[in-house]
A and B are shown apart, each in its own frame.
Chain A
Amino acid sequence: MAQAEFSQSNSQSDYLQQIRASVARRELISKLFGVLGLLVISIATLILIALVAQLFVQGIPRLNWKFFTSFPSSDFNEAGILSAWVGSLLVMLTTMVIAVPLGVAAGIYLEEYAPKNWLAALIEINVTNLAGVPSIVYGLLALGLFSTVLNLGESILTAGLTLALLILPIVIVTTREALRAIPSSLREAAYALGASRWQMIWDHILPYSSGSILTGIIIGLSRAIGETAPLITIGALTYIAFLPPSPIQSQFPFISFEWLTAPFTVLPIQMFNWVSRPQPEFQVNAAAAGVVLILLTLTLNAFAIYLRYRLRKGVKW
Protein backbone atom coordinates (compact mmCIF):
# COMPACT_ATOMS: atom_id res chain seq x y z
CA MET A 1 0.00 0.00 0.00
CA ALA A 2 2.76 2.44 1.07
CA GLN A 3 4.74 1.22 -1.89
CA ALA A 4 1.89 2.08 -4.24
CA GLU A 5 1.42 5.54 -2.74
CA PHE A 6 5.11 6.25 -3.07
CA SER A 7 5.23 5.28 -6.73
CA GLN A 8 2.15 7.36 -7.39
CA SER A 9 3.67 10.51 -5.89
CA ASN A 10 6.86 9.70 -7.70
CA SER A 11 5.09 9.51 -11.05
CA GLN A 12 3.27 12.72 -10.09
CA SER A 13 6.57 14.57 -9.70
CA ASP A 14 7.84 12.98 -12.93
CA TYR A 15 4.78 14.33 -14.65
CA LEU A 16 5.33 17.83 -13.23
CA GLN A 17 8.94 17.75 -14.41
CA GLN A 18 7.83 16.76 -17.88
CA ILE A 19 5.41 19.69 -17.97
CA ARG A 20 8.09 22.10 -16.77
CA ALA A 21 10.56 20.87 -19.35
CA SER A 22 8.00 21.26 -22.11
CA VAL A 23 7.03 24.78 -20.98
CA ALA A 24 10.69 25.79 -20.71
CA ARG A 25 11.41 24.48 -24.21
CA ARG A 26 8.46 26.28 -25.77
CA GLU A 27 9.21 29.50 -23.95
CA LEU A 28 12.82 29.33 -25.14
CA ILE A 29 11.64 29.05 -28.77
CA SER A 30 9.27 31.96 -28.22
CA LYS A 31 12.08 34.10 -26.76
CA LEU A 32 14.47 33.13 -29.56
CA PHE A 33 11.96 34.35 -32.12
CA GLY A 34 11.55 37.58 -30.21
CA VAL A 35 15.29 38.19 -30.22
CA LEU A 36 15.55 37.33 -33.92
CA GLY A 37 12.74 39.72 -34.77
CA LEU A 38 14.29 42.52 -32.75
CA LEU A 39 17.62 41.94 -34.49
CA VAL A 40 16.10 42.05 -37.99
CA ILE A 41 14.09 45.18 -37.33
CA SER A 42 17.06 46.92 -35.68
CA ILE A 43 19.30 46.24 -38.68
CA ALA A 44 16.66 47.53 -41.10
CA THR A 45 15.94 50.65 -39.06
CA LEU A 46 19.60 51.38 -38.35
CA ILE A 47 20.51 51.27 -42.03
CA LEU A 48 17.67 53.62 -42.84
CA ILE A 49 18.57 55.99 -40.01
CA ALA A 50 22.23 55.96 -41.07
CA LEU A 51 21.31 56.85 -44.64
CA VAL A 52 18.99 59.66 -43.63
CA ALA A 53 21.48 60.95 -41.05
CA GLN A 54 24.26 61.03 -43.63
CA LEU A 55 21.98 62.92 -46.02
CA PHE A 56 21.09 65.41 -43.30
CA VAL A 57 24.71 65.93 -42.20
CA GLN A 58 25.71 66.55 -45.79
CA GLY A 59 22.68 68.57 -46.84
CA ILE A 60 21.54 70.70 -43.92
CA PRO A 61 24.49 73.18 -43.97
CA ARG A 62 23.55 74.01 -47.55
CA LEU A 63 19.92 74.82 -46.64
CA ASN A 64 19.29 78.55 -46.47
CA TRP A 65 16.77 81.05 -47.77
CA LYS A 66 18.75 81.60 -50.96
CA PHE A 67 18.67 77.88 -51.76
CA PHE A 68 14.88 78.00 -51.88
CA THR A 69 14.67 81.25 -53.86
CA SER A 70 17.29 80.60 -56.55
CA PHE A 71 17.00 78.92 -59.89
CA PRO A 72 19.42 76.12 -60.79
CA SER A 73 22.75 77.38 -62.02
CA SER A 74 26.04 76.03 -63.29
CA ASP A 75 27.63 77.74 -60.27
CA PHE A 76 26.94 75.39 -57.40
CA ASN A 77 26.93 78.24 -54.88
CA GLU A 78 24.26 80.13 -56.81
CA ALA A 79 22.16 77.05 -57.58
CA GLY A 80 18.82 76.62 -55.82
CA ILE A 81 15.62 74.65 -56.01
CA LEU A 82 13.08 77.41 -56.72
CA SER A 83 11.81 75.99 -60.00
CA ALA A 84 11.90 72.46 -58.57
CA TRP A 85 9.81 73.02 -55.46
CA VAL A 86 7.34 75.26 -57.30
CA GLY A 87 7.08 72.56 -59.98
CA SER A 88 6.60 69.81 -57.40
CA LEU A 89 3.92 71.86 -55.67
CA LEU A 90 1.97 72.59 -58.85
CA VAL A 91 2.27 69.01 -60.15
CA MET A 92 1.06 67.67 -56.77
CA LEU A 93 -1.85 70.09 -56.81
CA THR A 94 -2.87 68.96 -60.30
CA THR A 95 -2.44 65.30 -59.33
CA MET A 96 -4.60 65.74 -56.27
CA VAL A 97 -7.39 67.59 -58.07
CA ILE A 98 -7.57 64.81 -60.67
CA ALA A 99 -6.91 61.68 -58.60
CA VAL A 100 -8.95 62.40 -55.46
CA PRO A 101 -12.44 62.86 -56.94
CA LEU A 102 -11.89 60.12 -59.52
CA GLY A 103 -10.40 57.64 -57.07
CA VAL A 104 -12.88 58.24 -54.26
CA ALA A 105 -15.84 58.13 -56.65
CA ALA A 106 -14.55 54.91 -58.24
CA GLY A 107 -14.01 53.39 -54.78
CA ILE A 108 -17.55 54.31 -53.71
CA TYR A 109 -19.01 52.91 -56.90
CA LEU A 110 -17.10 49.63 -56.72
CA GLU A 111 -17.80 49.09 -53.04
CA GLU A 112 -21.36 50.35 -52.68
CA TYR A 113 -23.05 50.35 -56.07
CA ALA A 114 -21.48 47.79 -58.40
CA PRO A 115 -23.27 44.44 -58.45
CA LYS A 116 -21.04 41.72 -57.04
CA ASN A 117 -20.51 39.68 -60.19
CA TRP A 118 -17.60 38.43 -62.32
CA LEU A 119 -17.15 41.83 -63.96
CA ALA A 120 -16.75 43.54 -60.58
CA ALA A 121 -14.29 40.81 -59.54
CA LEU A 122 -12.32 41.34 -62.76
CA ILE A 123 -12.19 45.09 -62.22
CA GLU A 124 -11.12 44.59 -58.62
CA ILE A 125 -8.24 42.29 -59.58
CA ASN A 126 -7.11 44.74 -62.25
CA VAL A 127 -7.24 47.77 -59.99
CA THR A 128 -5.20 45.95 -57.36
CA ASN A 129 -2.68 44.87 -59.97
CA LEU A 130 -2.41 48.38 -61.40
CA ALA A 131 -1.08 49.51 -58.02
CA GLY A 132 1.94 47.29 -58.66
CA VAL A 133 2.72 48.31 -62.24
CA PRO A 134 6.21 49.91 -62.53
CA SER A 135 5.87 53.68 -62.73
CA ILE A 136 7.91 53.92 -65.94
CA VAL A 137 5.11 52.05 -67.72
CA TYR A 138 2.73 54.80 -66.71
CA GLY A 139 5.30 57.25 -68.08
CA LEU A 140 5.28 55.51 -71.46
CA LEU A 141 1.49 55.44 -71.55
CA ALA A 142 1.39 59.14 -70.69
CA LEU A 143 3.98 60.01 -73.32
CA GLY A 144 1.86 58.37 -75.98
CA LEU A 145 -1.59 59.34 -74.75
CA PHE A 146 -1.32 62.73 -73.04
CA SER A 147 1.76 64.25 -74.69
CA THR A 148 1.25 63.08 -78.23
CA VAL A 149 -2.33 62.00 -78.92
CA LEU A 150 -4.02 64.60 -76.73
CA ASN A 151 -1.26 67.05 -77.59
CA LEU A 152 -0.78 68.32 -74.06
CA GLY A 153 3.00 68.45 -74.50
CA GLU A 154 5.58 68.38 -71.74
CA SER A 155 3.40 70.33 -69.39
CA ILE A 156 2.42 70.38 -65.73
CA LEU A 157 -1.00 69.10 -66.82
CA THR A 158 0.57 66.03 -68.47
CA ALA A 159 2.64 65.40 -65.34
CA GLY A 160 -0.39 65.77 -63.08
CA LEU A 161 -2.44 63.39 -65.24
CA THR A 162 0.38 60.86 -65.26
CA LEU A 163 0.91 60.87 -61.51
CA ALA A 164 -2.85 60.87 -60.97
CA LEU A 165 -3.03 57.69 -63.04
CA LEU A 166 -0.19 56.27 -60.97
CA ILE A 167 -1.84 56.85 -57.58
CA LEU A 168 -5.43 56.22 -58.68
CA PRO A 169 -5.28 52.50 -57.75
CA ILE A 170 -3.92 53.38 -54.30
CA VAL A 171 -6.76 55.86 -53.73
CA ILE A 172 -9.39 53.43 -55.03
CA VAL A 173 -8.17 50.51 -52.95
CA THR A 174 -7.87 52.50 -49.71
CA THR A 175 -11.27 54.12 -50.27
CA ARG A 176 -12.84 50.70 -50.68
CA GLU A 177 -11.11 49.36 -47.59
CA ALA A 178 -12.19 52.40 -45.59
CA LEU A 179 -15.82 51.97 -46.68
CA ARG A 180 -15.73 48.25 -46.01
CA ALA A 181 -14.56 48.88 -42.44
CA ILE A 182 -17.84 50.62 -41.53
CA PRO A 183 -19.97 48.02 -39.73
CA SER A 184 -23.13 46.90 -41.49
CA SER A 185 -25.17 47.74 -38.38
CA LEU A 186 -24.70 51.45 -39.15
CA ARG A 187 -25.70 50.98 -42.78
CA GLU A 188 -28.82 49.11 -41.71
CA ALA A 189 -29.60 51.81 -39.14
CA ALA A 190 -29.55 54.45 -41.88
CA TYR A 191 -31.56 52.34 -44.33
CA ALA A 192 -34.12 51.48 -41.63
CA LEU A 193 -34.92 55.19 -41.28
CA GLY A 194 -35.75 55.41 -44.97
CA ALA A 195 -32.42 56.71 -46.25
CA SER A 196 -31.66 56.15 -49.92
CA ARG A 197 -28.37 54.51 -50.84
CA TRP A 198 -26.80 57.87 -51.61
CA GLN A 199 -28.06 59.41 -48.35
CA MET A 200 -26.64 56.44 -46.47
CA ILE A 201 -23.26 56.94 -48.17
CA TRP A 202 -23.12 60.73 -48.04
CA ASP A 203 -24.54 61.25 -44.53
CA HIS A 204 -22.91 58.28 -42.83
CA ILE A 205 -20.43 56.00 -44.52
CA LEU A 206 -18.30 58.76 -46.07
CA PRO A 207 -18.01 60.96 -42.97
CA TYR A 208 -17.20 57.95 -40.78
CA SER A 209 -14.50 56.71 -43.15
CA SER A 210 -13.08 60.09 -44.21
CA GLY A 211 -10.06 59.70 -41.90
CA SER A 212 -8.97 56.47 -43.53
CA ILE A 213 -9.73 57.76 -47.03
CA LEU A 214 -7.63 60.88 -46.41
CA THR A 215 -4.79 58.72 -45.14
CA GLY A 216 -4.92 56.75 -48.38
CA ILE A 217 -4.91 59.94 -50.43
CA ILE A 218 -1.88 61.28 -48.59
CA ILE A 219 -0.01 57.98 -48.86
CA GLY A 220 -0.70 58.14 -52.61
CA LEU A 221 0.49 61.75 -52.83
CA SER A 222 3.66 61.03 -50.87
CA ARG A 223 4.40 58.28 -53.35
CA ALA A 224 3.75 60.66 -56.26
CA ILE A 225 5.98 63.39 -54.87
CA GLY A 226 9.05 61.14 -55.09
CA GLU A 227 8.37 59.80 -58.59
CA THR A 228 11.03 60.58 -61.17
CA ALA A 229 10.95 58.00 -63.93
CA PRO A 230 7.50 58.67 -65.44
CA LEU A 231 8.13 62.42 -65.44
CA ILE A 232 11.46 62.07 -67.21
CA THR A 233 9.70 59.84 -69.73
CA ILE A 234 7.11 62.48 -70.55
CA GLY A 235 9.90 65.03 -70.97
CA ALA A 236 10.19 67.02 -67.77
CA LEU A 237 13.11 69.42 -68.06
CA THR A 238 16.20 68.82 -66.02
CA TYR A 239 17.25 72.46 -66.19
CA ILE A 240 14.74 75.27 -66.03
CA ALA A 241 15.40 78.85 -64.99
CA PHE A 242 11.93 80.37 -65.01
CA LEU A 243 8.68 79.85 -63.15
CA PRO A 244 5.31 78.90 -64.66
CA PRO A 245 2.88 81.82 -65.04
CA SER A 246 1.33 82.73 -61.71
CA PRO A 247 -2.12 81.28 -61.05
CA ILE A 248 -3.16 84.56 -59.43
CA GLN A 249 -3.28 87.64 -61.63
CA SER A 250 -3.80 91.31 -61.03
CA GLN A 251 -6.48 91.71 -63.70
CA PHE A 252 -9.88 90.09 -64.08
CA PRO A 253 -10.60 87.14 -63.72
CA PHE A 254 -7.64 87.09 -61.29
CA ILE A 255 -7.17 83.33 -61.68
CA SER A 256 -5.27 81.87 -64.59
CA PHE A 257 -4.73 78.30 -65.63
CA GLU A 258 -1.90 79.09 -68.03
CA TRP A 259 0.54 77.43 -65.66
CA LEU A 260 -0.99 74.08 -66.51
CA THR A 261 0.61 74.19 -69.96
CA ALA A 262 4.03 75.37 -68.74
CA PRO A 263 7.17 73.23 -68.80
CA PHE A 264 8.43 72.23 -65.38
CA THR A 265 10.83 70.28 -63.27
CA VAL A 266 10.31 68.61 -59.88
CA LEU A 267 12.50 68.04 -56.82
CA PRO A 268 13.56 64.44 -57.50
CA ILE A 269 14.56 65.35 -61.07
CA GLN A 270 16.57 68.31 -59.82
CA MET A 271 18.22 65.98 -57.34
CA PHE A 272 18.97 63.43 -60.04
CA ASN A 273 20.46 66.16 -62.21
CA TRP A 274 22.83 67.31 -59.47
CA VAL A 275 23.84 63.79 -58.46
CA SER A 276 24.96 63.11 -62.03
CA ARG A 277 27.35 66.11 -62.05
CA PRO A 278 31.03 65.36 -61.43
CA GLN A 279 31.71 68.23 -58.97
CA PRO A 280 31.39 67.14 -55.30
CA GLU A 281 29.74 70.50 -54.43
CA PHE A 282 26.72 69.53 -56.53
CA GLN A 283 26.46 66.32 -54.47
CA VAL A 284 25.94 68.60 -51.46
CA ASN A 285 23.19 70.43 -53.35
CA ALA A 286 21.59 67.08 -54.16
CA ALA A 287 21.73 66.08 -50.49
CA ALA A 288 20.12 69.38 -49.52
CA ALA A 289 17.32 68.83 -52.05
CA GLY A 290 16.97 65.30 -50.68
CA VAL A 291 16.52 66.68 -47.18
CA VAL A 292 13.74 68.96 -48.46
CA LEU A 293 12.08 66.01 -50.19
CA ILE A 294 12.27 63.80 -47.10
CA LEU A 295 10.93 66.56 -44.89
CA LEU A 296 8.06 67.10 -47.34
CA THR A 297 7.17 63.41 -47.28
CA LEU A 298 7.43 63.23 -43.50
CA THR A 299 5.23 66.33 -43.19
CA LEU A 300 2.63 64.78 -45.47
CA ASN A 301 2.66 61.57 -43.43
CA ALA A 302 2.49 63.43 -40.14
CA PHE A 303 -0.45 65.36 -41.53
CA ALA A 304 -2.12 62.06 -42.47
CA ILE A 305 -1.65 60.69 -38.96
CA TYR A 306 -2.99 63.91 -37.45
CA LEU A 307 -6.06 63.87 -39.70
CA ARG A 308 -6.76 60.26 -38.91
CA TYR A 309 -6.50 61.02 -35.21
CA ARG A 310 -8.75 64.09 -35.45
CA LEU A 311 -11.40 62.50 -37.64
CA ARG A 312 -11.54 59.27 -35.71
CA LYS A 313 -11.92 61.00 -32.38
CA GLY A 314 -15.49 60.35 -31.32
CA VAL A 315 -15.98 58.01 -34.25
CA LYS A 316 -15.82 54.48 -32.93
CA TRP A 317 -18.13 51.54 -32.89
Chain B
Amino acid sequence: MVDTRVVNSSVMERKAEVKNLDFYYGSAKALKSVSMVVWDRRVTALIGPSGCGKTTLLRCFNRMHDLYPGNRYDGEILLDGVNILEKQIDPIEVRMRVSMVFQRPNPFPKSIYENVAYGLRVQGITEKSLLDEKVEKALQGAALWNEAKDRLKEPAYNLSGGQQQRLCIARAIATEPNIVLFDEPTSALDPIATSSIEELMNELKEQVTILIVTHSMQQAARVSDYTAFMYLGEMVEFNETNLLFNKPADQKTQDYVSGRFG
Protein backbone atom coordinates (compact mmCIF):
# COMPACT_ATOMS: atom_id res chain seq x y z
CA MET B 1 0.00 0.00 0.00
CA VAL B 2 2.95 2.34 0.56
CA ASP B 3 3.52 4.28 -2.61
CA THR B 4 7.20 4.61 -3.40
CA ARG B 5 7.01 6.50 -6.68
CA VAL B 6 8.87 9.74 -6.85
CA VAL B 7 6.94 12.77 -8.03
CA ASN B 8 8.44 16.28 -8.29
CA SER B 9 11.65 14.67 -7.02
CA SER B 10 10.28 14.35 -3.50
CA VAL B 11 9.29 11.20 -1.67
CA MET B 12 5.54 10.80 -1.21
CA GLU B 13 4.41 11.05 2.37
CA ARG B 14 1.05 10.53 3.94
CA LYS B 15 -0.25 13.77 5.40
CA ALA B 16 -3.53 12.35 6.53
CA GLU B 17 -5.36 9.09 6.43
CA VAL B 18 -9.07 8.40 6.81
CA LYS B 19 -9.84 4.99 8.30
CA ASN B 20 -13.33 3.46 8.35
CA LEU B 21 -15.02 6.78 8.95
CA ASP B 22 -18.76 6.80 9.61
CA PHE B 23 -20.54 10.09 10.09
CA TYR B 24 -24.05 10.77 11.36
CA TYR B 25 -26.25 13.87 11.14
CA GLY B 26 -28.46 12.94 14.07
CA SER B 27 -29.65 9.49 13.09
CA ALA B 28 -28.97 9.89 9.37
CA LYS B 29 -25.77 8.15 8.31
CA ALA B 30 -23.98 10.38 5.81
CA LEU B 31 -20.63 8.59 5.50
CA LYS B 32 -20.30 4.83 5.41
CA SER B 33 -16.94 3.38 6.33
CA VAL B 34 -14.92 5.80 4.22
CA SER B 35 -11.18 5.24 3.90
CA MET B 36 -8.63 7.21 1.91
CA VAL B 37 -5.13 8.67 2.00
CA VAL B 38 -4.23 12.33 1.60
CA TRP B 39 -0.70 12.65 0.25
CA ASP B 40 1.55 15.42 1.46
CA ARG B 41 1.80 18.43 -0.86
CA ARG B 42 -0.55 17.00 -3.45
CA VAL B 43 -4.02 18.05 -4.52
CA THR B 44 -6.68 15.48 -3.72
CA ALA B 45 -10.12 16.02 -5.23
CA LEU B 46 -13.43 14.66 -3.90
CA ILE B 47 -16.04 14.24 -6.62
CA GLY B 48 -19.50 12.74 -6.82
CA PRO B 49 -23.13 13.71 -7.35
CA SER B 50 -24.98 16.06 -4.95
CA GLY B 51 -25.62 14.49 -1.58
CA CYS B 52 -22.86 11.89 -1.95
CA GLY B 53 -21.12 13.08 1.23
CA LYS B 54 -18.07 14.77 -0.27
CA THR B 55 -18.58 18.06 1.58
CA THR B 56 -19.50 16.13 4.74
CA LEU B 57 -16.18 14.29 4.48
CA LEU B 58 -14.28 17.52 3.84
CA ARG B 59 -15.79 19.17 6.93
CA CYS B 60 -14.69 16.23 9.08
CA PHE B 61 -11.07 17.24 8.45
CA ASN B 62 -11.43 20.47 10.43
CA ARG B 63 -14.17 19.25 12.77
CA MET B 64 -16.65 21.83 11.41
CA HIS B 65 -19.43 19.40 12.30
CA ASP B 66 -18.70 19.98 15.99
CA LEU B 67 -20.34 23.42 15.66
CA TYR B 68 -23.79 21.91 15.32
CA PRO B 69 -25.45 19.63 17.85
CA GLY B 70 -26.37 16.04 17.05
CA ASN B 71 -23.46 15.24 14.74
CA ARG B 72 -21.33 12.19 15.44
CA TYR B 73 -18.11 10.74 14.05
CA ASP B 74 -17.11 7.11 14.23
CA GLY B 75 -13.71 6.06 12.92
CA GLU B 76 -10.40 7.83 12.48
CA ILE B 77 -8.79 10.65 10.59
CA LEU B 78 -5.07 10.47 11.28
CA LEU B 79 -3.26 13.76 10.79
CA ASP B 80 0.47 13.12 11.01
CA GLY B 81 -0.42 9.94 12.82
CA VAL B 82 -2.76 11.41 15.42
CA ASN B 83 -6.50 10.78 15.31
CA ILE B 84 -8.03 14.28 15.18
CA LEU B 85 -11.54 12.95 15.79
CA GLU B 86 -10.68 11.91 19.37
CA LYS B 87 -12.95 13.54 21.95
CA GLN B 88 -10.01 14.91 23.94
CA ILE B 89 -8.60 16.76 20.94
CA ASP B 90 -9.93 20.30 20.85
CA PRO B 91 -11.48 21.15 17.46
CA ILE B 92 -9.90 24.63 17.77
CA GLU B 93 -6.47 23.00 17.70
CA VAL B 94 -7.44 21.01 14.61
CA ARG B 95 -8.71 24.14 12.84
CA MET B 96 -5.46 25.95 13.53
CA ARG B 97 -3.68 23.22 11.54
CA VAL B 98 -6.34 22.54 8.89
CA SER B 99 -7.79 25.70 7.35
CA MET B 100 -10.66 26.08 4.96
CA VAL B 101 -11.82 28.04 1.91
CA PHE B 102 -15.57 28.10 1.46
CA GLN B 103 -17.96 27.79 -1.43
CA ARG B 104 -18.78 31.49 -1.58
CA PRO B 105 -16.17 34.10 -0.79
CA ASN B 106 -16.84 35.05 2.83
CA PRO B 107 -14.35 37.74 3.81
CA PHE B 108 -15.00 39.50 7.11
CA PRO B 109 -16.48 43.00 6.78
CA LYS B 110 -13.09 44.40 7.79
CA SER B 111 -10.05 45.67 5.92
CA ILE B 112 -8.07 43.46 3.54
CA TYR B 113 -5.19 43.47 6.02
CA GLU B 114 -7.34 42.49 8.99
CA ASN B 115 -8.90 39.63 7.04
CA VAL B 116 -5.54 38.04 6.44
CA ALA B 117 -4.19 38.89 9.87
CA TYR B 118 -7.13 37.44 11.79
CA GLY B 119 -5.92 33.83 11.88
CA LEU B 120 -2.52 35.07 13.07
CA ARG B 121 -4.10 37.23 15.77
CA VAL B 122 -6.17 34.27 16.94
CA GLN B 123 -2.92 32.37 17.35
CA GLY B 124 -1.65 35.15 19.58
CA ILE B 125 0.70 37.03 17.25
CA THR B 126 0.61 40.73 18.16
CA GLU B 127 3.95 42.03 16.92
CA LYS B 128 3.23 44.46 14.11
CA SER B 129 6.30 43.75 11.99
CA LEU B 130 5.74 39.99 12.13
CA LEU B 131 2.06 40.45 11.21
CA ASP B 132 3.00 42.72 8.30
CA GLU B 133 5.49 40.19 7.05
CA LYS B 134 3.11 37.23 7.27
CA VAL B 135 0.22 39.15 5.71
CA GLU B 136 2.40 40.11 2.77
CA LYS B 137 3.63 36.56 2.36
CA ALA B 138 0.08 35.18 2.43
CA LEU B 139 -1.19 37.76 -0.06
CA GLN B 140 1.72 36.95 -2.34
CA GLY B 141 0.98 33.26 -1.93
CA ALA B 142 -2.61 33.95 -2.98
CA ALA B 143 -1.47 36.05 -5.97
CA LEU B 144 -3.26 39.08 -4.58
CA TRP B 145 -0.33 41.16 -3.34
CA ASN B 146 0.15 43.25 -6.48
CA GLU B 147 -3.53 44.18 -6.60
CA ALA B 148 -3.91 44.71 -2.86
CA LYS B 149 -0.65 46.16 -1.58
CA ASP B 150 -1.77 49.78 -1.97
CA ARG B 151 -5.22 49.21 -0.50
CA LEU B 152 -4.60 47.04 2.55
CA LYS B 153 -6.71 49.38 4.70
CA GLU B 154 -9.67 49.28 2.33
CA PRO B 155 -12.71 47.13 3.15
CA ALA B 156 -12.46 43.64 1.71
CA TYR B 157 -15.88 44.11 0.11
CA ASN B 158 -14.37 46.56 -2.37
CA LEU B 159 -12.66 43.61 -4.06
CA SER B 160 -14.27 41.67 -6.91
CA GLY B 161 -15.67 38.19 -6.31
CA GLY B 162 -12.55 36.43 -7.61
CA GLN B 163 -10.27 38.72 -5.60
CA GLN B 164 -12.40 38.09 -2.49
CA GLN B 165 -11.94 34.36 -2.93
CA ARG B 166 -8.18 34.82 -3.31
CA LEU B 167 -8.30 36.93 -0.15
CA CYS B 168 -10.03 34.02 1.60
CA ILE B 169 -7.23 31.77 0.35
CA ALA B 170 -4.64 34.22 1.70
CA ARG B 171 -6.51 34.17 5.02
CA ALA B 172 -6.43 30.37 5.02
CA ILE B 173 -2.71 30.04 4.24
CA ALA B 174 -1.45 32.90 6.43
CA THR B 175 -1.09 30.63 9.44
CA GLU B 176 0.90 28.08 7.43
CA PRO B 177 -1.50 25.20 8.03
CA ASN B 178 -0.81 21.53 7.27
CA ILE B 179 -3.83 21.11 5.03
CA VAL B 180 -6.09 23.60 3.23
CA LEU B 181 -9.63 22.41 2.52
CA PHE B 182 -11.41 23.88 -0.50
CA ASP B 183 -15.20 23.44 -0.58
CA GLU B 184 -16.21 24.04 -4.22
CA PRO B 185 -14.15 27.23 -4.18
CA THR B 186 -15.04 28.38 -7.68
CA SER B 187 -18.74 27.60 -7.86
CA ALA B 188 -19.64 31.26 -7.32
CA LEU B 189 -16.99 32.62 -9.71
CA ASP B 190 -16.79 33.37 -13.42
CA PRO B 191 -14.49 31.31 -15.73
CA ILE B 192 -11.59 33.78 -15.61
CA ALA B 193 -11.60 34.00 -11.81
CA THR B 194 -11.96 30.20 -11.74
CA SER B 195 -8.86 29.62 -13.83
CA SER B 196 -6.84 32.02 -11.67
CA ILE B 197 -7.87 30.07 -8.55
CA GLU B 198 -6.95 26.80 -10.25
CA GLU B 199 -3.52 28.13 -11.22
CA LEU B 200 -3.08 29.25 -7.67
CA MET B 201 -3.79 25.76 -6.33
CA ASN B 202 -1.08 24.43 -8.60
CA GLU B 203 1.42 26.81 -7.05
CA LEU B 204 0.18 26.31 -3.50
CA LYS B 205 0.69 22.56 -3.54
CA GLU B 206 4.43 23.13 -3.44
CA GLN B 207 3.91 24.32 0.13
CA VAL B 208 0.75 22.78 1.44
CA THR B 209 -1.51 19.76 1.13
CA ILE B 210 -4.79 20.51 -0.59
CA LEU B 211 -8.10 18.70 -0.39
CA ILE B 212 -10.79 20.03 -2.72
CA VAL B 213 -14.46 19.23 -3.18
CA THR B 214 -15.68 20.03 -6.65
CA HIS B 215 -18.79 19.57 -8.73
CA SER B 216 -16.84 19.90 -11.93
CA MET B 217 -15.07 16.79 -13.16
CA GLN B 218 -13.03 18.94 -15.53
CA GLN B 219 -11.80 20.92 -12.56
CA ALA B 220 -10.84 17.76 -10.70
CA ALA B 221 -8.99 16.54 -13.79
CA ARG B 222 -7.22 19.90 -14.18
CA VAL B 223 -6.08 20.54 -10.63
CA SER B 224 -5.77 17.28 -8.76
CA ASP B 225 -3.15 14.56 -8.49
CA TYR B 226 -5.53 12.15 -6.77
CA THR B 227 -9.28 11.85 -7.02
CA ALA B 228 -11.83 10.14 -4.85
CA PHE B 229 -15.23 9.31 -6.30
CA MET B 230 -18.00 9.10 -3.71
CA TYR B 231 -21.55 7.92 -4.10
CA LEU B 232 -24.33 7.74 -1.47
CA GLY B 233 -21.89 8.21 1.41
CA GLU B 234 -19.48 5.55 0.24
CA MET B 235 -16.00 5.82 -1.20
CA VAL B 236 -16.46 4.09 -4.54
CA GLU B 237 -13.01 4.58 -5.96
CA PHE B 238 -9.84 6.41 -5.00
CA ASN B 239 -6.88 6.60 -7.35
CA GLU B 240 -4.48 8.82 -9.21
CA THR B 241 -6.53 11.33 -11.13
CA ASN B 242 -5.59 10.24 -14.66
CA LEU B 243 -6.20 6.58 -13.81
CA LEU B 244 -9.56 7.32 -12.22
CA PHE B 245 -10.71 9.28 -15.24
CA ASN B 246 -9.18 7.11 -17.96
CA LYS B 247 -9.28 3.62 -16.51
CA PRO B 248 -11.92 3.59 -13.81
CA ALA B 249 -12.09 0.25 -12.06
CA ASP B 250 -15.70 0.54 -10.95
CA GLN B 251 -18.72 0.68 -13.23
CA LYS B 252 -20.29 3.52 -11.23
CA THR B 253 -17.14 5.60 -11.55
CA GLN B 254 -17.11 4.84 -15.27
CA ASP B 255 -20.72 6.01 -15.59
CA TYR B 256 -20.12 9.17 -13.56
CA VAL B 257 -16.91 10.35 -15.23
CA SER B 258 -18.35 9.68 -18.66
CA GLY B 259 -21.32 11.88 -17.76
CA ARG B 260 -23.96 9.16 -17.73
CA PHE B 261 -25.35 10.31 -14.37
CA GLY B 262 -24.78 12.97 -11.77
Q: Contact residues of A with B, CB < 8 Å? A: 115-116, 183, 185-196, 199, 203-204, 208, 314-317
Would B104 and A185 count as touching, CB distance under 8 A? yes
Please tell me which one of the listed residues B106, B122, B168 contacts residue A195 in the complex, with CB atoms under 8 A apart.
B122
A188 close to B67 (CB less than 8 A):
yes
Residues of A within 8 A of B102 (CB): 185, 188-189, 192
Q: How far is the CB of A58 from chain B (nearest CB, A)?
A: 48
Residue from A115, A189, A315, A316 within 8 A of B106 (CB atoms):
A189
Total contacting residues, chain B, CB less than 8 A = 26
Given A116-B69, A199-B122, are A191 and B108 neighbors across the interface (CB < 8 Å)? Answer: no
Chain A minimum-CB-distance residue to B156: A314
Question: A116 contacts which chain B residues (CB < 8 A)?
Answer: 69
A188–B106 CB distance below 8 A: yes
Contact yes or no, A193 B109, CB < 8 A: no
Q: B71-119: which residues lie under 8 A (CB-CB) from chain A?
A: 92-93, 95-96, 99-100, 102, 104, 106-109, 118-119
Bound state CA distance, A263 and B158, in angstroms?
55
Q: Are B92 and A194 in touch, CB under 8 angstroms?
A: yes
Task: Please give the distance in Å from A180's CB to the nearest CB on chain B.
Answer: 15
A-B contact count (CB 8 A): 65
Provide the residues of chain B in CB contact with A195, threshold 8 Å: 92, 118, 122
Kindly report which residue of chain A lies nearest to residue B97, judged by CB atoms: A194
Contact B122–A192 (Cβ < 8 Å): no
Asked if B157 and A192 sit within 8 Å, CB to CB, the answer is no
A231 to B223, CA, bound (A): 71
Give the docked Cα–Cα distance between A187 and B155 (Å): 18
CB closest residue in chain B, given A115: B69
| Residue in chain B with minimal CB distance to A203 | B118
CB of B5, distance to nearest CB on chain A (Å): 33
B95 touches A193 (CB 8 A): yes
A264 to B64, CA, bound (A): 55
The residues of A that contact B67 with a CB separation of less than 8 Å are 187-188, 191
Q: Which residues of A contact B122 (CB under 8 A)?
A: 193-195, 199
- A189, A191, A204, A315 pick with most chain B CB within 10 angstroms: A189
